[in-house]
Amino acid sequence: MKPVHFALIVAASLALAGCENKEPAEMPAPYVLNQDAMGRYCGMNVLEHAGPKGQIILEKIPEAIWFSSARDTVAFTMLPDEPKEIAAIYVSDMGKAPSWEKPGADNWIDARKAVFVIDSRVRGGMGAEEAVPFSSEEAAQAFIAKNGGRIVSFAALPESYILGAGDESDDGAEAPGGHDHG
């Protein structure tokens, strides 16, 4: 084998080994919800709304992007114009929330591992349908027993549900809260 070919093979092998040995980046910890959290889409204080909240942390920006609802958090991941370098997606674990009105400041769960209840009778903080996150299927089933709905995984959340088809009632009445997404 010629020395040049050998050198290229070694260089290529080292380059591939470098790619294969990369440790996956550690997921950053969630931020504690506080008075400074402003909703990405509504521009309002996240604490002013009932129901589950969300935060997304991008790979190169070490701060949370806040959302007034879990549904808006998921919508961020589906919208083509939003950044895709996501390091972490956290949503409120409503099974550990003190109440619907006070979903908690630090009971965050990885949205990709959560189970979500959709199509329930409960509305999100901005009066829209909500994707209600839970860390356990048992807690989600208990919620369904009281409020209706069905369980789906993060990956199975229907884009039409998340991005807004079905926000309006059949009679054209405005959803409670009188706002679009938060």
pLDDT, tens digit (0-9, with 9 covering 90-100), for 114-158: 999 999 999 987 778 999 999 999 999 999 999 999 999 999 999
The larger pLDDT score, comparing residue 20 to residue 38, is at 38
Element (H, E) at 146: helix 137-147
Task: Give Cβ neighbours of residue 127 (< 8 Å, ≥ 6 apart).
Answer: 174, 175, 176, 177, 178, 179
CA distance 154 to 22: 26
Locate 56 and state its tokens: 């997304």
Give the DSSP letter of residue 182.
-
**Residue 66's closest CA among 88, 93, 87, 46?**
46
Mean pLDDT to the nearest integer, 8-24: 47
- For the cut 80, the answer to whether the pLDDT of residue 176 exceeds it is no
Higher model confidence: residue 112 or residue 42? 112
Look at residue 175 in the predicted model and tell me its pLDDT.
Answer: 30
Q: What is the pLDDT of residue 80?
A: 94
- Mean pLDDT confidence for 78-98: 96
Distance CA 35, CA 26 (A): 27
**Per-residue pLDDT, 2:** 53
The first and second tokens of residue 180, run together, are 């679009």
Query: Of 131, 65, 42, which Cα lies nearest the Cα of 94?
Result: 131
162's CB contacts (< 8 A; 6+ apart) are 71, 74, 75, 78, 131
Q: Looking at residues 97-125, what average pLDDT do you find?
A: 95
> Does position 15 have pLDDT exceeding 90, yes or no?
no
To the question of pTM greater than 0.85 for the whole model, the response is: no
Q: Are 131 and 125 in contact (CB under 8 A)?
A: no
Concatenating the DSSP letter of every residue in 45-103 gives BGGGS-S--EEEEETTEEEEEEESSHHHHHHHHH-TTS---EEEEEEE-TTS-S-SS--
Model confidence at 110, pLDDT cuts 50, 70, 90, reads very high
Q: In a 3-state reduction of DSSP, which class is residue 178? A: coil
| CA count, 13 A, side-chain hemisphere, 154 | 20
Higher-pLDDT residue of 61, 14? 61
Predicted pLDDT of residue 165:
53
